[in-house]
Structure 1
Amino acid sequence: MSRVAAAYIHGHVYTVNEKKPWAEAFIVSASGRFEAVGSNEEILNLAKEQGLLIHDLKNTFVMPGIHDAHTHLLLASMQKLNEIDIGSDSTAGTIAADIQRGQCVCACAYAHVRGDWLIANFYAGDNFPDGRIDRKYLDNAFPDRPLLVRDISCHNVVLNSAGLRRAGYDTESKEDPPGGKYVRRPDGSLTGELVEAAATQAWSSLPQPPVWYVKEAILYGIQMSHRFGITSVQEASANTIYLHALRELEQENRLQMEIFPHIVHAPETFAAESQESLHQLIDIADTFRSEHVDSRFVKFWMDGAPIPPHFTHCDLGPDGVPDEKKLLIRFDALLSALTQHDARGMTCKIHCAGEGSARRALDALEIVRQLNPAGPRHELAHCNAIHRDDIPRMAKLRITAEMSPAIFHETSLTANFPHIFQWPFKELQDAGVHVTVGSDWILPPTPDIFPALSAIVERFGPETGRTAKEVGGEKICRIITLSGAEAVGKAMELGSIEVGKKANFIAVDRDLSRGEFADAKVLKTWFEGEVVWEDGEL
């Protein structure tokens, strides 16, 4: 990719470099890295000496590109490109009509990527009689074509009768699968709703999309991320076809995003691929590393989702012991896998949606760290509920608290279920725990994290002579940039505007360091010195 060195002047530049947090101007080299950072006068003199192009930032606020610590780039993009959006307010009387209407919208060139299956998003069980969805609401409209609808948590699905038959389910089954549940009617037959691991069989029955389509979906996801200032992401559910698509995009010089794909170890539900195949992929993960892809990351789901009506997260009992029935991975299996991956220098992200799952994950990580004190930094994903006794353990074990989905920081769910949605930002910060934020894009319509940041900024508390918003603004700017780079071991390459680092930066319509995140808009995004998104106002 050919670039031309250029100077950028008259900026209000927040560098996120503690030694020099503010600058007015900088130079980006032809190789796409920051070559100099300083005052307008300093940079103008260098620009004239070197005969550089000069860009006037017109006093716009500029900061490093955002790191999204938890996204489902491929799944979210596939939802937008060829799946049916029915919203979450469909009822027993409207769901089939909503899907039929959405099917017409999605009747495009991508419609065949899942064979003749229809995929729709999202239903909410409490919109249906007795708080339960049933395949009978789908069968009249879709008697022969297999249909799968995700719920609003994305952890559970409902299939129509044709889908159950195609996927090989026994509608009269009496036993639930390990880690999952078949929701049943009063007569014992399946409603079609499949909870957690019960959906694995359904997802594995769907045809894998072709590589060309996966590439187009990833490019769409990258473009959407650029729109919201994101220049690096941690992909939370990577599989074989995903990594092959990234490799081809890199070879074609079309990958304008730093991507850290977390290969699914277990359960395999979200990867739609067999555990054997996924484990083989982890074994050869290094072969997929490239300039913009670091594949030394693994993903586990310890429990489910803390969302009604199923509440499949793992809580603590009155005795402080996790509810083992809610755990999706056996402790011995988790410990064995973590030990193996840790020894290879692979960072593990563990989905924990309850105090019980977080405690059990930390129990395993404590043993791993004793075996290998200098091993890589690992992560607990979501961290919406961490028992106060476990927060100091996270700091001691060098665990990153990855706080996602971002939208939950501002939702009414936090007020309705305070025990589940604690979001202990201040407690984590005071204990010295490393904190990052992710969008968990697949749940929200876009990866925009700014509205959520405005909801957490006050949690950091004031300092002498400064408001909580000012303190929180600076801390959050660091969390969404340099802290993210540190979490993936790339702090020497990314995360701040410093000489030698990649020139990934954004222009925003307000000073985010002052905590003004609500309604903030990215005006321009640069990736390695090249404009990849432009709103048109700058």
Structure 2
Amino acid sequence: MPVTDSVAIADGRIIALGEDDVSSVRGEHTEVLDLGGATMLPGFVDAHIHPVMGGLRRVQCDLSELHDLCAYRDRISDYAATHPEAPWVLGGGWYGDVFDGGFPDRRELDSLVPDRPAALGSHDGHGVWVNSAALAAAGITDETPDPPGGHILRDAEGVATGMLVESAADLVYDVIPPVEPGEVRAALLDAQSYLHSLGVVAWQDAAVGEALGLPDCYDLYCELAESGALTARVTGDLWWYPDRDLDQIESMTKRRDALSDNGLTFSATAVKIIQDGVCENFTAALTRSYHQHPHEHGMSFIEPQQLRRVVAALDTAGFDVHLHAVGDRAVRESLDAFSDTANADDRRHQIAHIDLITPEDVARMRDTGVIANIQPLWAREDPVLVETKLPFLDEDHQNWHFAFGSLAEAGVPLAMGSDWPVSSPDPLWGVHTAVNRTAPAGDPHAQDEHSQTVPLLAEQGIDIDAALHAYTIGAARAARLDEFCGSIEVGKDASLVVLDADPMTADPRHLSDIRVREVFVRGVRV
């Protein structure tokens, strides 16, 4: 990551670095911008994000900036009252720790939305809270069996509670009226403006296809790129449908190849596969049982031998593979699958999340060259972690929790992303947490003193240089965008962020206080 004092830009590209070279290309019509002591970095790249979901949530019943049951009740009631024309009340962003037992109940939502179906996704995207009308609309009764890869939660009497986990959520998503194309377009453009305001100039969309209850946005990305409205550079990860066979690779290849060498800001060079769930609902796949739950080991959504076949076929077809693996068993199954790939053509295979990992698999990641696609904002002792996750992990699992430091020390390439709207897409908040292992002061989900002062495994923190690298060139490489962005180098896009303080010299405890002053995308101030 070169350091310089001057940058020259023409036609959206960096053409010179350093005062002498910059002076030699300055002309009478050159616009000169003096930063006045501010710090300019390459624009941030988010290696794992869901912008359509994030954009839609901003215009639906958005609970993501709240962390209190009374506040949830008020927001849901107000939204329902101000949107009487909506056939369903939709939204999400709730956190389980505000509810008794860690999960919401349909009766609570029945009291808030008694007149129509309501479906509110959890903040992590691995469950949905629905009312009785939504259960009825989906045909879910107390006798409905759990679908493969999912759970319909039930109370002690066997009554469905209105909490649907993993693939069970699809039973409701399948009957929700589809979002209008105009709404999806507006949501993606709104998300782009929001991300630009945080200094994000490029991203990897981790679900391009009919996934997570959302429409396929491949054609929309193509349209926006062709019109010039997609100012960010985006790599779309084509969604792997686990209920389909290897023949889906043919259509994926056509989608990827249709975008090759056309100069657009959108490409589709990767495939996203979900291998497990999350620890909070016992669906993350663990090598040992959940603490005090001896019969719960989580779920492998794809049988390990089949996963190996899928990954090998995608690698042969020239795709980068982006695997969601939260539990240490899912990480191991992912590494087993990657061990069969030749990796001869500069693949950018990656494992996302890696909440838990064993020491031996840290070494395996280094040896296979797989990128650790990590979400740094999760690595702190906030109420969600302390109340709804840590109690279910044994001591050894807790000691290898978000092991960023061990991964970095071993030489595993790091890329950072937010998983927005699961968590805030603010890169400076992510950098702060990666370094300090504590929560940013402004985070509404961690306003207690413990979250902001007591680090989660302080030895697993990484230094500021490594964190910035992972949120710029590391993330750009994971998204196969490092030709264009991620560092300030001649020939790359002039996609840059100006900060009001230098993160390299700032007090690490106050990294999240740094603010974005200006953002440029290919030389244009956005």
Normalising by structure 2, we get a TM-score of 0.83
Q: Is 1:168 aligned with 2:139?
A: yes
Q: Is 1:256 aligned with 2:242?
A: no
Q: 1:88 to 1:53 in 2, by over 3 A?
A: closer
CA shift for structure 1 position 332: 2.8
Deviations 1:181-204, CA, capped at 9 Å, x for gaps: 111133323112111111122122
Letter in 2 for 1:334: L
Judge conservation of contact 2:374–2:417 (CA < 8 Å) in 1.
yes
Q: 1:373 to 1:406 in 2, by over 3 A?
A: same
Judge conservation of contact 1:346–1:376 (CA < 8 Å) in 2.
yes
Which of 348, 362, 367 pairs up with 1:396? 367
Q: 1:410 to 1:222 in 2, by over 3 A?
A: farther
Q: 1:126 to 1:494 in 2, by over 3 A?
A: closer
Letter in 2 for 1:439: S
Let me know the Cα RMSD of the aligned residues. 3.0
After TM superposition, list the pairs within 5 Å mapping 1:233-252 onto structure 2. 233-239=203-209, 241-252=216-227
Q: 1:128 to 1:72 in 2, by over 3 A?
A: same
Which of 199, 203, 227 pairs up with 1:229? 199
After TM superposition, list the pairs within 5 Å mapping 1:137-286 onto structure 2. 137-173=108-144, 175-239=145-209, 241-266=216-241, 282-286=252-256
In structure 2, what is the Cα distance between the partners aligned to 1:220 and 1:95? 24
After TM superposition, list the pairs within 5 Å mapping 1:53-202 onto structure 2. 53-85=31-63, 89=67, 91=69, 98-104=75-81, 116-173=87-144, 175-202=145-172
CA shift for structure 1 position 95: 5.7
In structure 1, what is the Cα distance between the partners aligned to 2:142 and 2:245? 25
Aligned to 1:436: 415
Judge conservation of contact 1:314–1:323 (CA < 8 Å) in 2.
no
Tell me the SS of whatever aligns to 1:170. coil
Q: Is 1:334 aligned with 2:307?
A: yes
Aligned to 1:358: 331
Q: Is 1:29 aligned with 2:2?
A: no
Q: 1:105 to 1:395 in 2, by over 3 A?
A: farther
Which of 522, 525, 528 pairs up with 2:522? 528
Deviations 1:333-374, CA, capped at 9 Å, x for gaps: 3222212211122111111111111011111111234xx544
Judge conservation of contact 1:72–1:235 (CA < 8 Å) in 2.
yes
Q: 1:402 to 1:164 in 2, by over 3 A?
A: same
Q: 1:38 to 1:124 in 2, by over 3 A?
A: closer
Tell me the SS of whatever aligns to 2:15. strand
Greater shift in the superposed pair: 276-285 or 424-433: 276-285
CA shift for structure 1 position 488: 2.5
Judge conservation of contact 1:26–1:38 (CA < 8 Å) in 2.
yes
In structure 2, what is the Cα distance between the partners aligned to 1:278 and 1:138? 39
Runs of 4+ in structure 1 deviating by more than 6 angstroms, as ranges, are 274-280
Judge conservation of contact 1:352–1:380 (CA < 8 Å) in 2.
yes
In structure 1, what is the Cα distance between the partners aligned to 2:31 and 2:74? 56
CA shift for structure 1 position 452: 3.0
In structure 1, what is the Cα distance between the partners aligned to 2:425 and 2:48? 10
Judge conservation of contact 1:90–1:98 (CA < 8 Å) in 2.
no
In structure 2, what is the Cα distance between the partners aligned to 1:276 and 1:218? 30
In structure 1, what is the Cα distance between the partners aligned to 2:248 and 2:74? 37
Judge conservation of contact 1:505–1:525 (CA < 8 Å) in 2.
yes
Deviations 1:15-73, CA, capped at 9 Å, x for gaps: x23xxxx211121112x11111112x44234203x742222222321110001111111
CA shift for structure 1 position 88: 5.8
In structure 2, what is the Cα distance between the partners aligned to 1:414 and 1:159? 24
Letter in 2 for 1:103: A
CA shift for structure 1 position 254: 0.8
Q: Is 1:302 aligned with 2:293?
A: no
Which of 462, 479, 482 pairs up with 2:473? 482
Judge conservation of contact 1:305–1:311 (CA < 8 Å) in 2.
yes
Letter in 2 for 1:476: A
CA shift for structure 1 position 329: 1.6
Q: Is 1:384 aligned with 2:355?
A: yes
Letter in 1 for 2:178: Q
Judge conservation of contact 2:372–2:413 (CA < 8 Å) in 1.
yes
Q: Percent identity?
A: 25
Counting matched residue pairs gives: 480
In structure 2, what is the Cα distance between the partners aligned to 1:485 and 1:284? 24
Normalising by structure 1, we get a TM-score of 0.81
In structure 1, what is the Cα distance between the partners aligned to 2:474 and 2:64? 36
